[in-house]
Homo-oligomer: A and B are copies of this chain.
Amino acid sequence: MDEKLTIQDIARLAGVSKSSVSRVLNNYPAISQELRERVMRVVREYNFVPNVTARGLAGGKTRLVGVLTPPLTWPAIPEILRGVAEYIERTSYEMVLYSINFENPTHTDVVDRILSLRMVSGLLAILPCDLTPHLLRHFERGLPMVMINDQEPPEHFPCPWVGVDNRTGGYQATRHLLDLGYRRIAHVMGPKRYYCAQERYEGYCQALHEAGLAPDPELLLQGEFDPASGRRCARELFARERTRWPEAIFVANDQMAYGFLEVAEEQGIQIPQDVALVGFDDNLVSSHVRPPLTTVRQPFSQMGAKAIELLLMMVDPDHVLPRTRASQDGKHSQAGAGMTPAGGPLATAAAGSDHQLGARAGAVLEASAPYRLDGAIHIQLDTSLVVRASSVPA
């Protein structure tokens, strides 16, 4: 029944031309109410949905965005994707998932192959690691792109970016321990080559400084962001004579903190009675480890949602401020195209955006394709502290 209807069929059934049906479906402004209703009646009656593929070919825009991720088994990825998926579900776009094994030496080729298909109208790159320079080339050639990354990029990094404020996060963690009365607070840094490790450390120093304390080099350790290095640091610390132990430890990510918990259990060290512990990230597991980990929460799913919102604005600016350009040069808006509810979910979502973002978005409309910003949008979301048993004696 509602199987293989084409726009031609609908046109015939409604007694109008193909072009008219197309215009109705795409919310072309200069259409008489009567025509619109005549067409929509048939469309609804037969439950017609235009063929995406044909639409993509003719209109030059596939309603697909690519999402490039590390393996889904990495801690934060599923949560980020949840945010992306929940947002995308409310739009007329779909998500093509490219889960890349970044350890594969040919991954730049993989990316090129993907993009050369010209199937996706935009790309969301999640934690692209060392792929960044390569992706940047594509961006500069005109591919709409947004990055989610825990490395805050340099100021003039051209590509839109979403992440968190690591400095403040480090501050929150340390401040929490100070407020509990701890004074000898150790820090386990991430690898120095990562900017975020540096920033979290700076937040730690700042909090100490405000409390009138100076960072003690003896209480600074260096890890690799994985559980193994966490175990190593823990052993090193707990091997010292008891008087040289810290009272509390701020570990730069949850993975390393898990290592601490394991070693503590092995050695019969009570957390938080003997040593308090705070992590960073709030991975899903962190509330299930023993004891539940106090940690600085990164709003992963919100990061995903924000990033995809940004990307869709780049891919299809008309969604954001419908009509603006239409009234200028006669080009019609595509907002609410097809079967999505009138008004368009994107419009409402954009209304709830950061003020800064909204302002910048205006600039987008002025720019001509391919999309390009003179000053890039970098969105920094807030971290928040989640207090659990590992830092608070019962």
Interface residues of A (CB under 8 A from B): 2-3, 47, 49, 51-54, 56-57, 62, 64, 67, 71-73, 77-79, 81-82, 85-86, 89, 94-99, 101, 110, 113-114, 116-119, 141, 227, 258, 261-262, 265, 284-285, 288-290, 339
Contacts of A78 in B (CB 8 A): 71-73, 77-78
Contacts of A79 in B (CB 8 A): 72-73
Is the pair A96, B99 in contact by a Cβ cutoff of 8 Å? no
Is the pair A119, B52 in contact by a Cβ cutoff of 8 Å? yes
Is the pair A52, B118 in contact by a Cβ cutoff of 8 Å? yes
Contacts of A73 in B (CB 8 A): 78-79, 82, 284
A110: nearest chain-B partner, CB-CB = B89
A1: nearest chain-B partner, CB-CB = B141
Is the pair B53, A119 in contact by a Cβ cutoff of 8 Å? yes
A74: nearest chain-B partner, CB-CB = B78
Interchain residue pairs with CB less than 8 A apart (22): A51-B57, A51-B117, A52-B117, A64-B96, A71-B82, A72-B72, A72-B78, A72-B79, A72-B82, A73-B79, A73-B82, A77-B78, A81-B97, A81-B99, A86-B99, A86-B101, A89-B99, A89-B110, A94-B119, A258-B288, A262-B290, A285-B285
Contacts of A47 in B (CB 8 A): 116
A75: nearest chain-B partner, CB-CB = B284
CA distance A2 to B118 in the complex (A): 12
> Which residue of the partner chain, among B56, B72, B289, contacts A85 with CB atoms under 8 Å?
B72
Contacts of A2 in B (CB 8 A): 116
Contacts of A67 in B (CB 8 A): 97
Most chain B beta carbons < 10 A, residue from A97, A113, A285 = A97
CA distance A57 to B227 in the complex (A): 49
A51: nearest chain-B partner, CB-CB = B118
